[in-house]
Structure 1
């Protein structure tokens, strides 16, 4: 099983959440190993979608901020003779 790029504490917390979810939603008591396998599966299969969405969201924020800066620069322009 590949190591996820989380700290040991973070991974343990995520695995605990997976285990709690399966127990509360499906009444399934999955073990730590199984919960880690589920986590790895979802990280591999859909993690890139969430990562890319985060990139798109960050890009949108940057574009909006650049627009604000451009507007501020245009407001500083002076007409000839000022």
Structure 2
């Protein structure tokens, strides 16, 4: 799965990768290594994050529909007896 990300966001991701490696492993990695890691995450792992986002959006929409159905039910008029 590949997608186009705005260049500034892509650069921000690579900067964060480099910072992570330095902070967690004491390693300084260069732009090329950070780019390879970024590409790996995007191509191999990105689908899991994307699918989770889709599931979250689906759940949110289901809740909105339930709320809408409740609102519509409350608008029904009951015949007087």
> Given the superposition, is the C-alpha separation of residues 4 and 27 from structure 1 closer, same or farther in structure 2, using an over 3 Å criterion?
farther
Task: Report the equivalent of 2:44.
Answer: 45
Q: Does 1:15 align with 2:1?
A: no
Task: Report the equivalent of 1:80.
Answer: 79
Q: Does 1:35 align with 2:34?
A: yes
CA RMSD in angstroms, aligned pairs only: 1.6
Task: Report the equivalent of 2:4.
Answer: 5
SS in 2 for 1:70: helix
Instruction: With a CA cutoff of 8 Å and minimum separation of 6, indicate the structure with the bigger relative contact order.
Output: 2
CA distance in 2, matches of 1:10, 1:30: 19
Q: For structure 1, list consecutive stretches of 5 or more residues without a partner in the other structure.
A: none
Q: For structure 2, list consecutive stretches of 5 or more residues without a partner in the other structure.
A: none
TM-score normalised by the chain length of structure 2: 0.89
TM-score normalised by the chain length of structure 1: 0.88
1:2-22, Cα deviation, whole Å (9 max, x unpaired): x85111111111111100110
Count of residue pairs brought into register by the alignment: 80
CA distance in 2, matches of 1:52, 1:18: 22
